[in-house]
């Protein structure tokens, strides 16, 4: 199973999961042209995508879903509130409940797990492929025991490290926004992400992607160093940062460590 972030951040999010028999997107927060451009770097056309799974209705995660339904007849999986808020086309929309096991193909199962995020029925996604698992988790200000249980031992974990606490509190945002971001239903700080990963990383965990970094309140080196402080003694795999302008690299779950997108494009031209 291959996992590639097409881009993560406040200006749009989408992640490609690909197996031998399936191609799905986790979230679609880009315009149709941006999605086509980013998939094109992987030599994939939007019509090749089997389903788009939307975590919640906020624009940077689901704002482009209805657009691609109308443009390419793409099928979308979302919970009821998310589908309603995004005004998705009923004939191309499939509703799931939290903790439903969704069999996309013979080699891919997706499990949506609820996470706390104010004003949205947000879910994380656990993807299972031939006994191997990857987690995609974003937009949560805290976590639950249930989330820990489902993420623990995943081979790959993609999780937001949205902000550095000191930068947020000393920055220009109004207090009300700072309070919302740092609250239980907001986003994870670098420190919180490190503490969460310390609970879920096991020897099975081979790679981690830190995603959805704030462009104003974080820096890649701060996110990585803070997280590594918490997991240095228990995690020996690869750690990477996914930024807004992707795709940058792919993770091969069950095979080799991350591969740069340029390497993928080179190999397809040979």
d(Cα 65, Cα 103) in Å, to the nearest integer? 21
Structure tokens at 188: 């994870």
Instruction: Report yes or no: 133 and 125 within 8 Å, Cβ to Cβ.
Output: no
What percent of the chain stands above pLDDT 90?
Answer: 90
The tokens 């005004």 sit on which residue?
87
Kindly indicate the confidence band of residue 267, based on its pLDDT and cuts at 50, 70 and 90: very low
User: Which segments of 191-233 are extended strands (E)?
Assistant: 207-211
Kindly indicate the confidence band of residue 261, based on its pLDDT and cuts at 50, 70 and 90: low
Structure tokens at 249: 């690299």
Kindly indicate the confidence band of residue 264, based on its pLDDT and cuts at 50, 70 and 90: very low
Q: What is the CATH number of the domain that holds 81?
A: 3.60.15.10
Instruction: Report yes or no: 102 and 110 within 8 Å, Cβ to Cβ.
Output: yes
Domains of the chain: total: 1
| Element holding 22 (H helix, E strand) | none
Q: What is the pTM for the complete model shown?
A: 0.93
| Short-list 246, 257, 186, 166, CA closest to 211 | 246
Structural domain of residue 159, as residue ranges?
Answer: 2-269
> Residue 249 above 50 pLDDT?
yes
């Amino acid at each position: 199973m291959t996992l590639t972030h097409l881009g993560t951040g406040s200006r749009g999010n989408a992640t490609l999961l690909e197996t031998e028999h399936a191609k799905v997107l986790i979230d679609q927060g880009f315009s149709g042209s941006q999605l086509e451009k980013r998939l094109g770097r992987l030599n994939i056309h939007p019509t090749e995508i089997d389903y788009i799974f939307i975590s919640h209705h906020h624009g940077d995660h689901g704002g482009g879903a209805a657009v691609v339904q109308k443009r390419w007849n793409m099928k979308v999986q979302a919970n009821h509130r998310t589908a309603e808020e995004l005004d998705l086309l009923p004939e191309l929309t499939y509703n799931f409940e939290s903790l439903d096991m969704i069999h996309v193909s013979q080699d891919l199962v997706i499990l949506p797990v609820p996470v706390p995020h104010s004003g949205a029925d947000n879910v994380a996604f656990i993807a299972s492929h031939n006994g191997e698992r990857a987690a995609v988790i974003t937009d949560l200000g805290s976590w639950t025991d249930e989330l820990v249980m489902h993420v623990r031992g995943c081979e790959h974990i993609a999780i937001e490290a949205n902000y550095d606490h000191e930068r947020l509190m000393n920055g220009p945002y109004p207090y009300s926004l700072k309070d919302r971001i740092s609250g239980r239903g907001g986003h994870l700080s670098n420190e919180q992400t490190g503490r969460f990963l310390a609970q879920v990383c096991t020897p099975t965990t081979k790679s981690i992607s830190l995603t959805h970094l704030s462009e104003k309140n974080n820096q890649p080196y701060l996110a990585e160093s803070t997280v590594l402080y918490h997991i240095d003694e228990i995690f020996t795999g690869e750690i990477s940062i996914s930024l807004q302008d992707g795709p940058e690299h792919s993770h091969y779950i069950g095979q080799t460590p991350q591969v740069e997108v340029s390497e993928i494009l080179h190999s397809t031209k040979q």
